[in-house]
Amino acid sequence: MAHSGINILFAGQNFTRLLGGLWVSAKISIVSLVIGILLGLLLGALRTLKNPVLRTILRLYLEFFRIVPTVVLLFLFYYILPKNFNVNLSAQIVAMLVFALWVAAEMSDIVRGALISVPRHQKEAGMAIGLNGPQLYRYVLLPQAVGLMIPATINLMTRVIKTTSLLLLISVMDVVNIGQQIIEANRQVYPNGAFWVYGLIFILYFLLCYPLSAWARHLERRQNNNA
Amino acid sequence: MATPLLQVEHLEKSYGDVHILHDINLTIATGSVTVLLGPSGSGKSTLIRCLNGLEDFQSGQLTFSGQPVTPNAKTWQQLRQKIGMVFQSYDLFPNLTVLDNILLGPLKVQHRSKAEAQEQAVKLLKEVGLADYQDAYPRQLSGGQKQRIAIVRALALNPEFMLFDEVTASLDPEMVRGVLEVLRNLAQQKMTMLVVTHEMNFAREIADQVVFLEEGHILEQTPGQQFFANPQTERAQIFLNSMDF
């Protein structure tokens, strides 16, 4: 077993480097999810208003981020922003920006759907005690919509985490990128290193996403039982 | 006669091409109980909802406490603190406890102190016999209990006028009495009320005046006793005969 391929994971700094890459992926996911979900709550609430101009703009925003593939979005922001707008952002910041805007778009649809599922009578009951528009959302509609949007939101979270694997394309040092570097650097000593490195990356992603996925299923089942 | 609390003049309401309310004229005296009767589909609910701005209307003038009402969102939002409404389906907020349901308006709309509002809420809960349910959630209550809480929620804003839209219609018979008792007490305390109901015995007992609505027209607006003893129109006679009481 002196030359077993699994040792590639423990040679030198390899293991800590991979974990470091995972942390970059996790950090980008967390930051973009926090910003994106907050922004999505606001946009989703705005999409339930009657203003046709606002609705159209927000609808276009949603469709743009839903239709354009994430890779294309990343390239757009990574290459076009600096070149045509003279804005130089690090790859990680670009990644967070693109993902946050993407999450906000998807989230706005989840939020809108949940808000319009709250019975109309609830809104009228809130109006009848004198609540104004923002108060209606804050105290009556959003609290009741949150339960409806949690499963879809958790699904979105796992999608975001998985999609960080694309970030190597704009040279973010994420876990996949570092894995590839390790494989390249050790090709002579560990010819089958790819198996072990990608195997570990698989397990790491699984550990991040599976709990979320299980949680979503649990919540969905609980909601069905309550309904 | 003192200034009426509410005056409705020439109110017209339609949904698209469908004319729902025709030239509604209505006067409600301070401290009186008006019962709004009529067959289903006659526009009772629409009318009562026009009076706190949940429905808009095409033309007509409302005057509340001597002040003409400009029907826009801002005016209605202010006015709804003075005009409480209770619905058939209770519509308590399921995510809040009983006490928080009641305190939402006083604290967030009227910006009153928590101590004072809570003291009043507890007092009102005692009056409807539900003092022990402050921390319960709506799903833990029966329909009759929910409806009494909904009434307390409206009263907690210290309204001058209360609208009741078929508040016993979705209750089991044994729950109805408790809710009617609450309304009866309010009438005794000289709360001005407009009540839509199908409980005819209760209507006869409580009504200072009866407004009889059919197909969006007010056919009668008469003192309560007179309406039940001697309805003026044939339509009202038929309606009374059709009701089992």
> Does B109 sit within 8 Å of A124, measured CB to CB?
no
B73: chain A residues, CB-CB within 8 Å? 133
> How much helix, strand and coil, in percent to the nearest 5, is found in chain A?
85, 0, 15
> Does B77 sit within 8 Å of A122, measured CB to CB?
no
> Does B154 sit within 8 Å of A135, measured CB to CB?
no
Query: What does the pLDDT read at residue B176?
Result: 94
Tally of structural domains, chain B = 2
* pLDDT over threshold 90, residue A171: no
Mean pLDDT, residues B107-135 taken together: 96
B125/chain A closest Cα distance in angstroms? 17
Query: What does the pLDDT read at residue A1?
Result: 47
Helix (H, G, I), strand (E, B) or coil at B234: helix
* Element (DSSP H or E) covering residue A25: helix A14-47
> Does A121 sit within 8 Å of B91, measured CB to CB?
yes
Which residue is it, tokens 């469908």? B18
Same-domain check for residues B176 and B245? yes
Is position B87 within any domain?
no
The length of chain B is: 245
- Partner residue facing B157 (CB), from A124, A130, A140: A130
Q: Which of B107, B108, B151, B165 to mutate to test the interface with A (most CBs of A within 10 A)?
A: B108
Closest CA to B123 of B95, B138, B102: B102
Question: Where is the domain boundary, B131, B158, B185?
Answer: B158
Mean pLDDT, residues A34-44 taken together: 96
The CATH fold of domain A5-226: MetI-like fold (1.10.3720)
Same-domain check for residues B66 and B175? yes
* pLDDT over threshold 50, residue A117: yes
Is position B59 within any domain?
yes
* Amino acid letter, residue B192: T
Task: List the beta bridge partners of residue B118.
Answer: none
Query: What does the pLDDT read at residue A121?
Result: 94
Question: Where is the domain boundary, B139, B158, B177?
Answer: B158
Q: Which of B77, B91, B102, B167 to mutate to test the interface with A (most CBs of A within 10 A)?
A: B91
- Partner residue facing A122 (CB), from B54, B77, B93: B93
Neighbour-count burial of B168, counting CB atoms closer than 10 A to its CB (0-12 exposed, 13-18 middle, 19+ buried) = buried
Which residue is it, tokens 């006015």? B79
Q: For the beta carbon of residue B199, count every other beta carbon within 10 angstroms.
A: 22
State how far the alpha carbon of B120 is from the alpha carbons of A11, B96, B102, B130, B187, in Å: 72, 18, 10, 13, 19
Question: Where is the domain boundary, B140, B158, B176?
Answer: B158
Q: Could you tell me what percent of chain A has a pLDDT over 90?
A: 67
Give the whole-angstrom CA distance, residue A133 versus residue A215: 33
pLDDT bucket at A226, cuts 50 / 70 / 90: low
- Angle between the A142-163 and A193-226 helix axes, to the nearest 10 degrees? 170
A127: chain B residues, CB-CB within 8 Å? 53-54, 76-77, 80
Same-domain check for residues B140 and B174? no
A50: chain B residues, CB-CB within 8 Å? none
Q: How many CB pairs under 8 A join A and B?
A: 63
The domain locations on chain A are 5-226
Same-domain check for residues B154 and B173? no
Same-domain check for residues B65 and B178? yes
> Does B104 sit within 8 Å of A139, measured CB to CB?
yes
CATH of the domain at B239: 3.40.50.300
CA quadruple A213, A217, A222, A227: dihedral, nearest 10: 120
Is position B230 within any domain?
yes
pLDDT bucket at A58, cuts 50 / 70 / 90: very high
Give the whole-angstrom CA distance, residue B52 versus residue B69: 10
For B69, the domain range is 1-82+166-245
Closest CA to B57 of B123, B9, B112: B9
The answer to whether the CB of B50 falls within 8 A of the CB of A123 is no
Alpha helices, H only, A48-129: 52-67, 70-75, 81-85, 91-117, 120-128
Helix (H, G, I), strand (E, B) or coil at B88: coil
Quote the DSSP letter at residue B80.
T
* Amino acid letter, residue A20: G
* Amino acid letter, residue B88: Q
Same-domain check for residues B99 and B121? yes
Mean pLDDT, residues B140-166 taken together: 96
Distance of CA B176 to the CA centre of its chain: 16
* Element (DSSP H or E) covering residue B78: helix B73-79
Question: What ipTM goes with this model?
Answer: 0.91
Same-domain check for residues B62 and B114? no
> Does B78 sit within 8 Å of A130, measured CB to CB?
yes
> Does B77 sit within 8 Å of A125, measured CB to CB?
no
> Does A125 sit within 8 Å of B93, measured CB to CB?
yes
* pLDDT over threshold 80, residue B2: no
Q: Tell me the pLDDT tens digit for each residue of B15-45.
A: 988 999 999 999 999 999 999 999 988 999 9
Give the whole-angstrom CA distance, residue B14 versus residue B61: 15
Same-domain check for residues B150 and B243? no
Is beta strand B59-64 parallel, antiparallel or unpaired with respect to B6-15? antiparallel
pLDDT bucket at A3, cuts 50 / 70 / 90: low
Give the whole-angstrom CA distance, residue B194 versus residue B163: 5
A133: chain B residues, CB-CB within 8 Å? 73
Give the whole-angstrom CA distance, residue B113 versus residue B125: 18
Mean pLDDT, residues A171-194 taken together: 89
Same-domain check for residues B103 and B37? no
- State both tokens at B65: 């406490």
Give the whole-angstrom CA distance, residue B80 versus residue B78: 6
The answer to whether the CB of B195 falls within 8 A of the CB of B164 is yes
Same-domain check for residues B143 and B186? no
Give the whole-angstrom CA distance, residue B78 versus residue B119: 23
Same-domain check for residues B154 and B170? no
Q: Tell me the pLDDT tens digit for each residue of A12-29.
A: 888 899 999 999 999 999
Query: What does the pLDDT read at residue A192?
Result: 86
Query: What does the pLDDT read at residue A187?
Result: 87
